[in-house]
Structure 1
Amino acid sequence: MAIAPDQPTSVPARRGLVARHPLTAFFVLAYALSWIVWAPWVLGTTGAGWLPTTVEPPATGYLNATAILLGPTGAALIVTALTDGRAGLRLLGARLVRWRVSVWWYLLALVGVPLLAVLGCTVVGGVLPDLAALGGPGFLLSYAVSFVLVAVVGGPLFEEIGWRGFALPRLQQRLHPAAAALVLGLLWALWHLPQFFDPSWTAASGGGGPVGIALFVATAVTFSFVTSWFFNGARYSVLIAVLVHTSIDAATTVTPAIFPPALATSAVPLLVSFGAAAVVLLVVTRGRLGLPRDREIS
């Protein structure tokens, strides 16, 4: 029997503040656990003396990986355990490994999403990609290795367990699917704010300052609409959401090789291409982003 995504499972109903407000508890924990890890880095960068004024790789990567694992993933596991117990944890795990979906979802996630990034650069820059710069067929192997590393170390795997695996189904039980994607996109984007203290991360994410942050937030919201459509269409498959998220991140590591660096590292091309895709999906699905009207997806 299908279980509504945020309805009580087979365990007895639990009481308490977390059980009454699971979404609030999740976002508070996700922010707190991640930002606590990032705090010494931020304070050091701003001159508080906890750390040197810069955190060099690989320390930056370890710091980000720890913050992501403790934040979205840790918060999802803790709140699920407190509200739905083992049955809820099994359901969350089932969504993570849900791979039996149409092959079209895999093709769209692995090929369509990177093509959107390339299309955005082409349209905004008015230039064609220099595919010869990729170095021929051998590029596919290096891209595959990079893809796996980005998925596991870069954040998509452990972020999506929380954002899409836990939060989105519950938001969609309370809000219209489009509103749920918007709220999640905003909260997802703002969670990244401490990372703007890392110059390398900031440069790869469209730049810093108020304008750069605003562009990043707007772009993340468009990603949220697109990823919500994938997640809902693939029957709450966190695996598909991870592949979409990874494709977005991996594509931004490739575009600087085939487009002028200033264009490839700008948030504007992604905002244009994914913004257009989000508008099309909202119109075609009448705002439901692939969510069935009965909302009964286990």
Structure 2
Amino acid sequence: MNSGTPLVNFRLPTAVSGPRGRSPMRFFALLLVLSVPFWVLGAVVESPEAMPMGMPLSAFMFVCPFTAAVVLVRREEGPAGPRRLLRRLFWFRGAGNGLWFALAVLVMPVLMLASYVFLRLAGMPLDGARSPFLALPVLLVVFLVSAAGEEAGWLGYALDPLQDRWGALRAAAATGTVWAAWHVGPWLQVHGVAWTAGWFLFTVFARVLIVWLYNRTRGAVLSGILFHAMINVSSSLFPDVGAWQVPAVLAVLTAVVAGCAVLLARRPRRVLHSRRPLRQDEARTINGRGR
């Protein structure tokens, strides 16, 4: 692709497309089956105090996307499929400028800070609220592990076939909607309807940003893991562990940033300082076929 070709729908280069034969619908169906016991557990068993942000026990369903993806790639690609999937979670060589990984880490804290400033200006009583900054190292580990478990399914398995079929923006909206709907049960176990509706919208827009970063890093699932983890880290550091959050405000701010990302992705590649095309060995590595 020459430097003047528009990056329409911020689609991945063809060489990075996922393996043929993958079925996002099978993934979503299996994910639903695996998640039901966690939803029931969260509904009938009270969350222990040690759970971050007062999350219900159903939060442990983060293992379900990983499990569903492993089961399906084992069936579709044989015994080597799960190993290739695991390698993809931490692949970053040839992923381009480190700027994109920096954005994956920084965008959510900046958005959360902006929402905090807005709420302060709106008169929200946040002066006496506290944040668990001393627990930051533990939160980072916990949320990186849970984000990796989820993104193994959302990015590592389901996204590429949808992008091949629909383009990146529609694929992001579809996976974002399923991702948000999958969380509705656990959210309602600890929050009200208004909070859940606002966070639902935020989640869809956040998925657009995750897909944008994924494509800008030539399919590095790690970029999505970092962004996803920082959603939870930033939220847990919000005053009183997120108790004062107004998700509708965060959703609007994220929608603005996601819209800017989509517009930037449609500009000529030379304006975005695009890197060289992937070599064949890099394409094989990102798809988990390298040595």
For normalisation by structure 2, the TM-score amounts to 0.75
Distance of 2:28 and 2:189 partners within structure 1 = 23
Shift of 1:251: 0.6
From 249, 259, 263, the counterpart of 1:283: 263
The equivalent position to 2:215 in structure 1, one of 200, 224, 232, is: 232
Q: State whether residues 231 and 241 of structure 1, in contact with CA within 8 Å, keep that contact through their aligned partners in structure 2.
A: yes
**Deviation digits for residues 191-216 of structure 1, max 9, x if unmatched?**
112203432xx2xxxxx22x333222
In the TM superposition, residue 94 of structure 1 has moved relative to its aligned partner by 2.4
AA paired with 1:243? L
1:234-266 CA deviation, whole Å, 9 max, x = no partner? 12112221110111111111121699x53xx21
Give the equivalent residue in structure 1 for 2:239: 256
Structure-2 change in CA distance of 1:40 and 1:144 (3 Å): closer
Q: What is the rounded CA distance, in whole Å, between the counterparts of 2:123 and 2:202 in structure 1? A: 22
State the TM-score, normalizing by the size of structure 1. Answer: 0.73
Aligned to 2:9: none
1:63 is aligned to 57
Quick one: distance in 1 between partners of 2:89 and 2:110?
A: 25
CA–CA distance in structure 1, aligned partners of residues 79 and 108 of structure 2: 35
CA distance in 1, matches of 2:25, 2:130: 45
Give ranges in structure 1 of 5+ residues lacking alignment. 9-18, 45-50, 203-207
Does residue 216 of the first structure (1) align with residue 199 of the second (2)? yes
Structure 1 counterpart of 2:24: 23
CA contact (8 A) 2:41 2:58 kept: no
Q: Within 2, Cα distance between the matches of 1:82 and 1:275?
A: 37
**Is 1:111 aligned to 2:111, yes or no?**
no
For residues 115-172 of structure 1, what are the alpha-carbon distances to aligned partners after superposition, in whole Å with 9 as ceiling and x for unaligned? 122113323542799999889xx95x642332122222xx312111111111111211
Change (3 A) 1:192 1:58: same
Query: Whole-Å Cα distance in 1 between the matches of residues 42 and 179 of structure 2?
Result: 20
Amino acid at match of 2:102: L
CA contact (8 A) 1:22 1:83 kept: no
Q: Name the CA shift for 1:63/1:3 in 2 (closer, same or farther; >3 Å).
A: farther
> Counterpart amino acid of 1:157?
A
Question: Would you say the 8 A contact 2:47–2:55 is kept in 1?
Answer: no
Does structure 1 residue 272 correspond to structure 2 residue 264? no
Give CA deviations for 1:265-295 in whole Å, capped at 9, x if unaligned.
Answer: 210221122111111011121299x999x99
Out of 168, 171, 183, the position equivalent to 1:180 is 171
Q: Number of residues paired by the alignment? A: 258
The letter for the 1-side match of 2:215 is N
Q: Of residues 111, 123, 146 in structure 1, which corresponds to 2:139?
A: 146
Q: What CA distance in whole angstroms lies between the structure 2 residues aligned with 1:183 and 1:92?
A: 22
Deviation at 1:222, TM superposition (A): 0.5
Q: Which consecutive unaligned segments of at least 5 residues does structure 2 have?
A: 1-13
Does residue 81 (structure 1) correspond to residue 74 (structure 2)? The answer is yes
Moved more, 179-188 or 57-66: 57-66
Measure the CA separation in 1 of the matches of 2:139 and 2:117.
23
Distance change (3 Å), C-alpha of 1:131 and 1:83:
farther
Instruction: Name the counterpart of 1:33.
Output: 34
Residues 85 and 156, structure 2, Cα contact 8 Å, conserved in 1: yes
Structure 2 residue matching 1:192: 3-state secondary structure:
helix
The answer to whether the 8 Å contact 2:47/2:57 transfers is no
- 1:7 paired to 2:19: yes
